């Protein structure tokens, strides 16, 4: 398991992990903290959200127009798992994932990310 504590290190870890995932065609990758997790697989990000987190996710999605919710049913679901199409390069995807942990899950700047 790899981990990172600074934004720079987290972005590098996410970017490298996604690039390796794509190169080796792995099943899925789990990015997690003590209180939150998301899965990346086949250019899709799956995250679990509550009502408040869903509203924060919508705000992050507005800042990253290349990332779109994949399933129409999840657009109106107040809670549950949301699947987001991540058809972007690993660096851009890393920026998006960092924002999910910071803005959606409301982690502070020094949070520990594990892969």
Burial class (CB in 10 A: 0-12, 13-18, 19+), 31: buried
Cβ atoms of 115 and 18 closer than 8 Å: no
Beta-bridge partners for 47: 38, 82
- Position 79 confidence tier, pLDDT thresholds 50, 70, 90: low
Give the Cα separation of 115 and 1 in Å (integer).
6
Whether 107 has a pLDDT exceeding 90, the answer reads yes
The tokens describing 42, both together, are 């086949």
- Position 74 confidence tier, pLDDT thresholds 50, 70, 90: very low
Q: What is the pLDDT of residues 35-53, one digit of tens each?
A: 999 999 988 999 999 878 9
- Position 33 confidence tier, pLDDT thresholds 50, 70, 90: very high
The full set of domain ranges for the chain reads: 3-109
């Amino acid at each position: 398991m790899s981990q990172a504590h600074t934004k720079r290190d987290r972005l590098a870890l996410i970017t490298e992990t996604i690039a390796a995932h794509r190169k080796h065609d792995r099943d899925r990758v789990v990015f997690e903290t003590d209180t939150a997790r998301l899965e990346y697989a086949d250019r899709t990000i799956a995250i679990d959200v509550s009502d408040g987190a869903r509203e924060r996710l919508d705000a992050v999605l507005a800042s990253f127009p290349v990332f779109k919710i994949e399933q129409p049913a999840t657009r109106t679901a107040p809670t549950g798992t949301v699947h987001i199409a991540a058809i972007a390069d690993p660096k851009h995807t890393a920026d998006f994932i960092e924002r999910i942990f910071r803005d959606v899950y409301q982690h502070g700047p020094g949070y520990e990310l594990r892969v």
